[in-house]
Amino acid sequence: MFEYSARPDLLQGRIIMVTGAGRGIGEAAAKAYAAHGATVLLLGKNEENLNRVYDDIEAAGHPRPAVIPFNLETALPHQYDELAAMVEGEFGHLDGLLHNAAIVGPRTPLEQLSGDNFMRVMQVNVSAMFMLTSTLLPLLKLSKDASVIFTSSSVGRKGRAYWGAYAVSKFATEGLMQVLADEVEDTAAVRANSVNPGATRTDMRAKAYPAENPAANPLPAEIMPVYLYLMGPDSAGVNGQALNAQ
């Protein structure tokens, strides 16, 4: 496990957006960021899940989060502009962005992967992530110390059979991270890095590995040290790195 102990006020006063915040790793990250003082913008497509996370954070006495229902699969370019304008109007700037939302798509040989399924995975995992990054970057540049975290995968660092569109999308994720990191290096107070969560006890993992015993994997809350480290000031100067949560 990534070794890091975050002080309680690590993210005090920071505004951080988490995509896919309604469950799994996104939910755990949103709660961890809120517990360390951040105002978290909970973005996802399932409003019921987002409201539950909102209630949990508020009940714990942490800064009041914001719920942003947003479907990354169907959103049009103008909706990203409207989202950025809303964030600017409500919060003025953004200190952090965790790209967590993703879909696996069919695990099948490339030969049997339909174009529709390939494009759907790329839309959610790559195109939407690019749109969010590009439209929110001006708000991140208004921060004194901003961090963008991209969620990668072991199959985004070495391709494996039958991981199809998902693996390709994660290679693209690493590429987008590297390009952004190079562009902001020495030009803005923004840094970009990627995290490979590793095997974690989530619904997505259970669907990908139905025969696996989920109890063998850590809970999302247990892999939060690297997410806290990269989002806080202790990682200032860390840019363009591909890290592992475990």
pLDDT for residue 214: 77
| Domain membership flag for residue 2 | no
Residues 18/43, Cβ–Cβ less than 8 Å: yes
pLDDT for residue 216: 79
| Domain membership flag for residue 190 | yes
| Domain membership flag for residue 207 | yes
DSSP 63: P
Catalytic residue among 54, 80, 166, 229: 166
Tokens representing residue 174 in the block: 């690493």
| Domain membership flag for residue 84 | yes
Q: What share of the chain is helix, strand, coil (3-state, %, to 5)?
A: 50, 15, 40
State the residue for tokens 């809970």.
219
pLDDT above 80 for 76? yes
The string of pLDDT tens digits covering residues 178-216 is 999 999 999 999 999 999 998 788 777 777 777 778 777
Residues 143/191, Cβ–Cβ less than 8 Å: no
Residue 166 is a catalytic residue: yes
Domain that holds residue 74: 13-242
Other beta carbons within 10 Å of 120:
16
pLDDT for residue 60: 98
| Domain membership flag for residue 3 | no
Kindly tell me the sign of the dihedral angle through the C-alpha atoms of 145, 196, 101, 82: positive
| Domain membership flag for residue 4 | no
Residue 40 — pLDDT band, cuts 50, 70, 90? Answer: very high
The string of pLDDT tens digits covering residues 124-146 is 999 999 999 999 999 999 999 99
The string of pLDDT tens digits covering residues 148-185 is 999 999 999 999 999 999 999 999 999 999 999 999 99
pLDDT for residue 198: 81
Residues 57/29, Cβ–Cβ less than 8 Å: no
pLDDT for residue 179: 98
Q: What is the Cα Rg of the chain in Å?
A: 17
pLDDT above 90 for 217? no
User: For the domain that residue 38 is a member of, what is the CATH number?
Assistant: 3.40.50.720
Domain count, the chain: 1
| Domain membership flag for residue 219 | yes
- What pTM does this model have? 0.96
pLDDT above 90 for 87? yes
